[in-house]
Amino acid sequence: MIIVIRGLQEVYGNSLGYRKMADRIEDGYGIVLGKKKVLRLMEEAKALSAVRRKHFSEEYYLTRRQMKENAPPDLIGRDFFALESYRRLVCDITYLTGSDETWYLSVVEDLFNGEILAWKIGEHCNARLCVETVEMLEMAVGSLEGCILHSDGGSTYIAYAYREILLSLGIRQSMGIKLTCYDNARVESFNSVFKTEALYAKFGKTKVKTHQVPVRTLVARAEWFIPYYNNERRKDGLNHKTPVGYKKANPKGTYPMVVEDKL
């Protein structure tokens, strides 16, 4: 088996890690070996992959652990309802994967009327994209003191740069559990509507899903759709009004009225 491993590394230019080596042995020779055994055999054969994993400093890993351990609480608790504008907001990032590259759409949605209050498209899915989206939110809304901004548990929302800008603006950060879509279902619903109505309907679901559309074409479509979604697309849940129209009809929110009994 050592001879086989050396031969495969020679063929693949010493690029096979132990997992891929196990796959090649199974595919080429019909022999199923455990990953740890393959690693041990590769060490004996002095045929470890020349492609090495990037390692970060201990300080980096410590910082990451601290950020996760001090993650914000979930202040929304899957209760996607708000009585007035700008008090309970949700945010998320969705992929715009084209035929040439992948860009990212970051949005902030108001739970009061479903309006997309701020959005930003970037070439990288990182904390900077989230920070720039919050900066757009501040420009659009003004004072954000005391409002809740809820996200999933992704690493971009745990980053110090993102948390610091929320703190500086008086925003209460809320976060669901990582990889649990139900904790951020409201904005996930918007992402679904966006992909269905803006992308699939225009270019065809198969072309979008198999990445046959250039990314800049997808970006242009997003830039058209969000203003349309806010200002023209009526929603049954808003008394058949658009998000902006609903807010204009209820400028002080939708708090229940107390009617005095005169009897």
40 and 92 in a single domain? The answer is no
Residue 124 lies in a domain: yes
204 and 132 in a single domain? The answer is yes
pLDDT at 261: 60
pLDDT tens track for 187-200? 999 999 999 999 99
79 and 40 in a single domain? The answer is no
Residue 58 has pLDDT above 80, yes or no: no
20 and 146 in a single domain? The answer is no
Most confident of the ranges 1-5, 30-34, 58-62, 199-203: 199-203
Give the side-chain half-sphere CA count within 13 A for 145: 1
Residue 239 lies in a domain: yes
pLDDT at 62: 58
26 and 83 in a single domain? The answer is no
- The whole-number average pLDDT for the span 11-20 is 84
- Look at strands 102-110 and 88-97 and give their pairing: antiparallel
Domain that holds residue 190: 75-249
pLDDT at 98: 92
Residue 3 has pLDDT above 90, yes or no: no
Give the 3-state DSSP-derived string for 71-135, with helices as H, strands as E and coil as C: CCCCCCCCCCCCCCCCCEEEEEEEEEECCCCEEEEEEEEECCCCCEEEEEEECCCCHHHHHHHHH
Residue at 42: amino acid letter: M
Residue 179 lies in a domain: yes
- Pair 151, 92: CB distance under 8 Å: yes
CATH classification of the domain holding 227: 3.30.420.10
Residue 207 lies in a domain: yes
pLDDT at 138: 96
Residue 173 lies in a domain: yes
Percent of the chain with pLDDT over 70: 89
110 and 217 in a single domain? The answer is yes
Q: Binning pLDDT at 50, 70 and 90, where does residue 52 land?
A: low
Tell me the two tokens of residue 243. 């998000």
Contacts of 101 (CB under 8 A, 6+ apart): 123, 215
116 and 221 in a single domain? The answer is yes
163 and 239 in a single domain? The answer is yes
- The whole-number average pLDDT for the span 157-163 is 91
Residue 65 lies in a domain: no
40 and 86 in a single domain? The answer is no
pLDDT at 178: 66
Residue 56 lies in a domain: no
228 or 45, which is more confident? 228
- The whole-number average pLDDT for the span 53-76 is 66
90 and 201 in a single domain? The answer is yes
pLDDT at 259: 58
- The whole-number average pLDDT for the span 240-263 is 82
Average confidence score pLDDT of the chain: 88
Residue 102 lies in a domain: yes
Least confident stretch, 18-32, 85-99, 199-213, 217-231: 18-32
Residue 184 has pLDDT above 70, yes or no: yes
Residue 63 has pLDDT above 80, yes or no: no
Q: Binning pLDDT at 50, 70 and 90, where does residue 128 land?
A: very high
Residue 29 has pLDDT above 70, yes or no: yes
134 or 58, which is more confident? 134
117 or 48, which is more confident? 117
Counting beta carbons within 10 angstroms of the beta carbon of residue 189, is it exposed (0 to 12), middle (13 to 18) or buried (19 or more)?
A: middle
Q: pTM to 2 decimals?
A: 0.73
37 and 82 in a single domain? The answer is no
When divided into structural domains, the chain yields a total of 2
pLDDT tens track for 79-120? 999 999 999 999 999 999 999 899 999 999 999 999 999 999
25 and 102 in a single domain? The answer is no
The owner of tokens 């509507």 is 193
